[in-house]
Amino acid sequence: MPHRRTTFSKYIIEDQPRRVAHGSDLTALLNDIQTACKYIAAAVSRGALEPSRTAQPVMVNVQGEEQKPLDVLSNDIMIGACEWGGQLCGMVSEELEDPYRIPDRFQRGRYMLVFDPLDGSSNIDINMTVGSIFSVLCAPEGVTEPKPEDFLQKGTAQVAAGYALYGPASMIVVTLGHGVQGFTLDRDIGAFTLTHPNMTIPAATSEFAINASNERFWEPPVRRYVEECVLGKSGPRGRDFNTRWIASMVAEVHRILLRGGLYMYPRDTKDPSKAGRLRLLYEANPMAMIVENAGGLCSTGRERMLDIQPTDIHQRVPVILGSREEVERLEQYHREAELTPVMAFSTPLFNARSLFRTS
């Protein structure tokens, strides 16, 4: 019966006995996050019906990326929904250069929130899927005014992680360290309702996602992997693969959770000053926690994502995540390339001509 369905609020309350060390404080924080996601979902759904949001001047955030009005609005919504409850002592956002300080008028708590308020915002103008990504950390003992270094915790230290997806239906997908649950926003009652319990990623897949426009910058292990997939039945893999690319990490991971697959934003030589494209604290680590709790893997190609010791709150990393067997294969290719560095991977498919050239 619809009235007996499990809502997000009910789920996190019923889960409290498993979280003896956290209890109601974490429940209250997660409830505030879902409130923020409802407001952001409503804002995103308005689209071009809010011309004032598209008429504002273009800004650039701390990452050097174009900052759309909805990026700023989503950031303000997340902060406003979570700062007042007394569970947080600080926040880190993609849109802010420094950690956000909880105002003195609010009580401080023992948690820290890191988030990307609107992932995939380049898709807003074409009405494609976007989302929010969040991660909850414990503040160091006795810290009430966290400094940047207090946020530099390995992904294994995350208390909870999740994302909201704003598409044809809005969803929240969350892990509290034991499985992954998906909730769909029922707009009739204004509640996220459990629709995808115990989400799992198939170990094998025949689907991968990568930005092919960066082909010429890929490292040899990635070139090798993609060529083998493209060769399909006639190549060493012996089966055909499909390729996908949405340019929204939330959408890519959500697809993988539902039907398996591989998502790659690997290290490349396009900008040698950047170790990768995606941010470790509030993009890669939350998604890694979700993916691993769903039976998949997340790696840089060289090491497990959740084991990386962060060095900066906006640190970038290469990301390879999804079905276990494919991530393990790419890790193997990286190991083999490092063992034989003088024998760089070479193939006509990526030399004289491009994989995507027509003739």
CA-based radius of gyration for the chain: 21
User: How many secondary structure helices (H) and strands (E) does the chain include?
Assistant: 8, 17
CA distance 286 to 71: 19
Q: Quick one: average pLDDT of 176-196?
A: 96
Q: What's this model's pTM, rounded to 2 decimal places?
A: 0.91
Cβ-Cβ contacts under 8 Å for 292 (sequence gap 6 or more): 298, 306
SS3 content of the chain, % helix, strand, coil (to 5): 40, 25, 40
Percentage of the chain with pLDDT > 90? 79
Least confident of 121-125, 228-232, 292-296: 121-125
Q: Does 349 score more than 70 pLDDT?
A: no
Alpha helices (H) along 193-278: 220-231, 249-259
| Structural tokens at position 338 | 């490092």
Average pLDDT, the chain: 91
Give the span between the Cα atoms of 66 and 117, in whole angstroms: 14
User: Is a pLDDT exceeding 60 seen at residue 3?
Assistant: no
Q: Is residue 124 predicted with pLDDT exceeding 50?
A: yes
For range 11-30, the mean pLDDT: 89
pLDDT of residue 1: 44
Q: Is the pLDDT of residue 166 over 90?
A: yes
pLDDT 10s digits, 312-345? 999 999 999 999 999 999 999 999 999 876 444 4
Q: Which CATH class is domain 2-196?
A: alpha beta
- Burial category of 342 from C-beta neighbours within 10 Å (exposed 0-12, middle 13-18, buried 19 and up): exposed
Look at residue 167 and give its three-state secondary structure. coil
Tell me which amino acid residue 54 is.
T
DSSP state, 58?
P
Q: What are the residue boundaries of the structural domains of the chain, listed by start?
A: 2-196, 207-350
Architecture of domain 207-350: 3-Layer(aba) Sandwich (3.40)
